[in-house]
Amino acid sequence: MLHLIFQSSIETAVLNRIDPGDVVVLLENATLRALQNGDMNAALTQQLGNNRLCVLSDDIAMRGISPNELVKGIEVIDYAGLVELTVNNPVIQSWS
């Protein structure tokens, strides 16, 4: 399953609903939560043990975030990568 998270305040309850092997893409203001020095660092690092986590390159660029400021292990993808994820994951859950 592909999870698209748009909300800037990612709740741990949302992370708890993500099954092992699912893919998560943080979009728009949710990318702000993927910062190494943010309060979600530990939760996202733990999530990386079971899931692939990604952010959209345009979303972090628009917010002035460089890839090296992200939690280690979070992948930066472009729109083509996002399209590929949607094609490879027919079930998509949006969180906004």
Query: pLDDT tens digits, residue range 2-28?
Result: 999 998 777 778 899 999 999 999 999
How far out from the chain centre does Cα 43 lie? 12
> What integer pLDDT is reported at residue 64 of this predicted model?
97
Report field, pTM of the whole predicted structure over 0.85: yes
Q: How far is CA 63 from the centre of its chain?
A: 15
| Domain 2-95 bears CATH identifier 3.30.870.10 | no
Domain ranges of the chain: 2-95
Q: What is the mean pLDDT of residues 49-62?
A: 97
Residue 72, class by beta-carbon neighbours within 10 Å (0-12 exposed, 13-18 middle, 19+ buried)? Answer: exposed
Residue 9, helix vs strand vs coil: coil
The pLDDT value recorded for residue 94 is 94
